[in-house]
Structure 1
Amino acid sequence: MTDDGFTVTPYTVSGEIDYENVLEQFGADRLTDEQIARFPTPVHPLVRRRVFYAGRDVDRFLSAATAGERHSIVTGRGPSGAMHLGHIIPLYFAKHLQQQTNALVYLPFSDDEKYFVTDNSLEEIGAQTRENLRDLLAVGFDPDRTRIIVDTADADVIYPLAAAFAPSVTGSTFEAAYGQPKNIGHAFYPAVQAAHLLLPQLVEGRHPTLVPIGVDQDPHVRVCRDIAAKRRYDVDKPGALLSKFLPSLDGPGKMSSSSNSGTTPTIYLSDDRETVFEKIHTHAYSGGQPTVDEHRKHGGDPQADVSYQLLHSFFEADDDRLDRIEREYRNGALLSGELKEMAADAIASFLDAHQRRRRRLDSLETELRRYRLTEHEREHARRRVGHSTFKTMI
């Protein structure tokens, strides 16, 4: 959608986003206090602080998760470049839920889509996919409860599913959700995305699935829900948990490799501690006053301050400590530089731990072997949509 002053689509996010307007346009439901309370304890900060602020069919997922019934999470990565904080946080959230509820987690990599919609070559996309996969593996999912799918590497299962779903996606449906396609590959991608989101049910049988994503990615879920509603394949509509965006360092908007201004850097998963501190101190937008004296007198605005928002979103788990930081920043006891120091230290420590796990990984081929779909799972999914292997057909 494009509205006055901002744009939110799966491929473009810009401007200062009115999240209530987005919900009204997309038709999703705001999370209620009752729903937040039903998440497993401790409720993740992203949920209890309403960074994940809306959803679709969240109650069905929560009922299955709390009852110990089969349920799954689907989230993944479009490998268009090096990963940054905004990319990895939904993956750590999915791991948190897996640890709490024993959820199945499916992690698709849409390397084909990124070839369709970017100017990167196949070789560049392949290199980015390999690097991104190592970052995903460093998160530490349970290999017995997790499947990683790469579209081009797993075409033997993804393509038959997408081919089955494609007739349900008309040109008008695509244009309503995405606008004009860039090319024929882009036009076909919603069918591939439906294969991603329905794959857990096609492998494991019908059950509630939750897709935790940025609100800009909701069109993918809406199109897939339309496909599932046709009831041809005995699957439920996938649910969604929709998040606000981690702020770019220069203020409101989505954290990305190119910020709103085009000049402010983002924080990559490969950044060392010194780089994180430099980026935060130099570029993080401050909600403080121009001088120390004015700040001591009037205080700062944590809602406008990027360092505070980063702590609030993910990097400070203790609610009491976060409340104290907010209070002291508002009354001027805490200076902007001190707040930046807190945020930089928290982010650098998070990245230190992530990078240590990444360095300990074995070869990509060895690590991925534990997360690949088995041949039985592949064949089961294909048969659920009326396909069998070519060998079986002849």
Structure 2
Amino acid sequence: MPAESEFTVTPYSVDGNVDYEQLLNQFGADKLTADQRKRFPDPTHPLVRREVFYAERNLDPFLAAANSGDDHALVTGRGPSGPMHIGHIFPFYFARYLQRAAGTTVYIPFSDDEKYLLKDQSIESISDHTRENLRDLLAVGFDPKRTRIVVDSADADVVYPVASALGKEITQATVDATYGDPENVGLSFYPAVQATHLLLPQLVEGRQPTLVPIAVDQDPHVRVCRDVAGKERHDVEKPGALLSKFLPSLDGPGKMSSSDDTPSILLSDDRETIREKIQTHAYSGGQTSVAKHREQGGNPDVDVAYLLLYYFFEKDDQRVQRLAQEYRDGSLLTGELKQLAAATIADFLEGHQQRREQLGPLHTELQPYRLTDEERRQALQTIGYPDDSLARQDSE
């Protein structure tokens, strides 16, 4: 295990014990201030008020627009390489909160092409994961009038022309410096596709503040996009970012991953499976015996069951503070805390699963969330492509 000061954070890997303050210096982001937290729509989301979202880039224009009723957008996406776990879902529920509280337009790109380039999986496998992940996103409960879901392969008629135009603004040296040596030429080009995702709301609906709430390892995508947006030929604002800490994996604080040996809590898990995973695998901050725990207490700051409640699943601030205090003074045992976390997470996921089961055929459910023909034309025209309506009329 690397020493505490030795860690690596990139969009494709997170290794070592992450120092979040040091990351701010490395990435050049700013710490989220108390004043900025107060300016989020009331009631402020737990992810904000408990400092899970802890850093930002150019957040103030988004907050100003959200509070004044001016146009503003949010982009948060999904790379469909497997079933979704609880670490994947909380940014989408955060986006839903802003949509309901402030009327935020939400764009959700699905980077199925990137996952094919990055993972040792077939196109068919990635497509299967895409369909299943889409059903989970639809179960979140977004407003279709203010939400657009864009799948790179299915919406290539928009994504790739725009990415080609933006790709002219990104040098290979920038890609290498930001991401390291790409594994293939597809990944070399992919930052242009990511920039397309983040600028698409403005290309479709006009210049407006846009926020990208992401885990801190995804910040390089935003940095490259901000460089592209700063070019004079693009009439767009640089997207802002809201950077979060990692939801802990069951084996201890750090990034929850679906690719390591430790099981993740899947959105499809039933109550008993959730209980078994937490009881068996969740790292404990407690002592080695009940007597010792009663005497010395535990450490909620490293206890995964507590952290899952703190980060997202327990909405009541007073209760989450009380649990921490009871754990520290030894009156709350590790097993009791695990049982509470398992029950709370199961309650949340059962509601999500019920909404998912009520969905109809995917094509029917997804249609209201797709870009319209006019929105596709608008995006291409904004980036400089001519209107192709005459060509279509000639072919009819």
Both proteins in one fold, TM over 0.5: yes
Query: What is the TM-score when the length of structure 1 is the normalising length?
Result: 0.97
Match of 2:229 in 1: 228
Paired residue type of 1:279: K
Q: Distance in 2 between matches of 1:324 and 1:140?
A: 31
Q: Distance in 1 between matches of 2:383 and 2:6?
A: 43
Q: Which runs of 5+ in 1 are unaligned?
A: none
Match of 1:265 in 2: 263
Matches within 5 A, 1:52-131: 52-131=53-132
C-alpha RMSD of the superposition: 1.3
Contact kept? 2:4, 2:18, Cα under 8 Å: no
Match of 1:331 in 2: 329
Q: Distance in 2 between matches of 1:347 and 1:24?
A: 34
Deviation at 1:389, TM superposition (A): 5.6
Match of 1:386 in 2: 384
Match of 2:295 in 1: 297
Q: Deviations over 1:79-109 (max 9, x none)?
A: 0111000101101100011000000000000
Q: Distance in 2 between matches of 1:205 and 1:95?
A: 22
Paired residue type of 1:268: L
Q: Distance in 2 between matches of 1:278 and 1:191?
A: 42
Paired residue type of 1:288: G
Match of 1:10 in 2: 11
Deviation at 1:231, TM superposition (A): 2.5
Q: Distance in 1 between matches of 2:4 and 2:181?
A: 18
Deviation at 1:307, TM superposition (A): 0.6
Q: Distance in 2 between matches of 1:27 and 1:137?
A: 35
Match of 2:171 in 1: 170
More deviation, 192-201/250-259 = 250-259
Paired residue type of 1:335: L
Q: Which runs of 5+ in 2 are unaligned?
A: none
Match of 1:313 in 2: 311
Paired residue type of 1:352: E
Paired residue type of 1:203: V
Identity fraction in percent = 64
Paired residue type of 1:185: G
Is it true that 1:343 corresponds to 2:314 in the alignment? no
Query: What is the TM-score when the length of structure 2 is the normalising length?
Result: 0.97
Paired residue type of 2:276: E
Match of 2:285 in 1: 287
Q: Distance in 1 between matches of 2:179 and 2:263?
A: 28
Q: Distance in 2 between matches of 1:208 and 1:69?
A: 9
Deviation at 1:182, TM superposition (A): 1.0
Question: Aligned match of 2:374 in 371, 376, 383?
Answer: 376
Match of 1:362 in 2: 360
Paired residue type of 1:248: S
Deviation at 1:390, TM superposition (A): 5.0
Deviation at 1:5, TM superposition (A): 3.1
SS state of the match for residue 168, structure 2?
A: helix
Match of 2:149 in 1: 148
Q: Distance in 2 between matches of 1:310 and 1:212?
A: 19
Deviation at 1:15, TM superposition (A): 2.0
Paired residue type of 1:197: L
Contact kept? 1:74, 1:105, Cα under 8 Å: yes
Contact kept? 1:208, 1:239, Cα under 8 Å: yes
Q: Deviations over 1:198-233 (max 9, x none)?
A: 000011100000000000000000000000001212
Match of 1:190 in 2: 191
Q: Deviations over 1:369-390 (max 9, x none)?
A: 1101010000011000111365
SS state of the match for residue 73, structure 1?
A: strand
Q: Deviations over 1:172-193 (max 9, x none)?
A: 1001110011111111101111
Deviation at 1:14, TM superposition (A): 2.2
Deviation at 1:169, TM superposition (A): 0.6
Paired residue type of 2:131: R
Paired residue type of 1:112: D
Is it true that 1:42 corresponds to 2:43 in the alignment? yes
Q: Distance in 2 between matches of 1:186 and 1:56?
A: 25
Q: Deviations over 1:50-107 (max 9, x none)?
A: 0000010111100000000000000010001110001011011000110000000000
Paired residue type of 2:143: D
Paired residue type of 1:44: H
Q: Distance in 2 between matches of 1:392 and 1:55?
A: 44
Paired residue type of 2:356: R
Q: Distance in 1 between matches of 2:361 and 2:31?
A: 43
Contact kept? 1:14, 1:254, Cα under 8 Å: no
Contact kept? 2:5, 2:17, Cα under 8 Å: no
Q: Distance in 1 between matches of 2:125 and 2:4?
A: 34
Residues 1:3 and 1:122: Cα distance change in structure 2 (over 3 Å): farther
